[in-house]
Structure 1
Amino acid sequence: MPCCIIALLAVFGPRFLLVGIWLFNNPYLARATDSFLLQCLGFLFLPWTLLAYAFSINTFPAGQYMGLDTVGLVVTLLGLLLDILSYGGSGYGNRNRFRS
């Protein structure tokens, strides 16, 4: 039972955070992405990456990599790694499901 709760939080947690940020502090996301379409795509496919990128843009000083300094780039790459691991973990968990 606790594993199910952790899995649900991993999947829906960043999306709940993005909805809350979008509703109550929209300039926070607007500084990271000007396009509503990009925000929607990030919400659907890469929510951890969008959260990490918005955090990096709003927290760390501007640098030379997409407006990020080295620490911001590392934080954004960690968000991308979390997204990849969340998608890959479900495939690994279902690896024996269709064996005959």
Structure 2
Amino acid sequence: MPILSLLIGYFFPRFMIVVLYLFTGWWKTAFDGILWPILGFFFMPLTVLWYGISEHYFPGSVQTVGLVIAVLLDLGLIGNGARRKK
């Protein structure tokens, strides 16, 4: 089941954000307000998802390597965005 959740989170991050918001309290502990999660939902969903998960499991210390990878995936520097440049 965790692998299925991971795959859904990678391919459909906005869906996973909504599911986690509705059924868990992760976002209340990760973010103080509602502005950053909403902006992240629309512009950088993988980054917001990774930040919320890392704040839940490792409070006070964001896992930097995973956050950098999530930002690069959101910006398209890894994956299909890099393939389009050629």
Shared fold (TM-score, shorter chain, > 0.5): yes
Aligned to 1:42, the other structure's residue is in SS state helix
**CA RMSD, aligned part only?**
2.6
CA offset at residue 87 of structure 1? 9.1
**Structure 2 unmatched ranges of 5 or more:** 1-9
Q: Does residue 1:56 correspond to 2:54, yes or no? A: yes
Query: What's the TM-score, normalizing by structure 2?
Result: 0.71
Paired position in structure 2 for 1:80: 71
* Counterpart-to-counterpart distance in 2, 1:41 and 1:60: 23
Q: 1:61 to 1:35 in 2, by over 3 A?
A: closer
Stretches of structure 1 lacking an aligned partner (at least 5 in a row): 1-8, 63-67, 96-100
- TM (norm. structure 1) is 0.62
Superposed CA offset, 1:8-58 (max 9, x none):
x73xx0000001011111x20111112112111010001000011111111
Which protein is bigger by CA-based radius of gyration? 1
Partner of 1:32: 30
Contact 1:14 1:51 survives alignment (8 Å): yes
Asked if the contact 1:56/1:73 (under 8 Å) is kept, the reply is no
State the distance in 1 between where 2:51 and 2:17 align: 12
Match of 1:89 in 2: 80
Secondary structure of 1:34's partner? Answer: coil
DSSP-derived class of the 2:76 partner:
helix
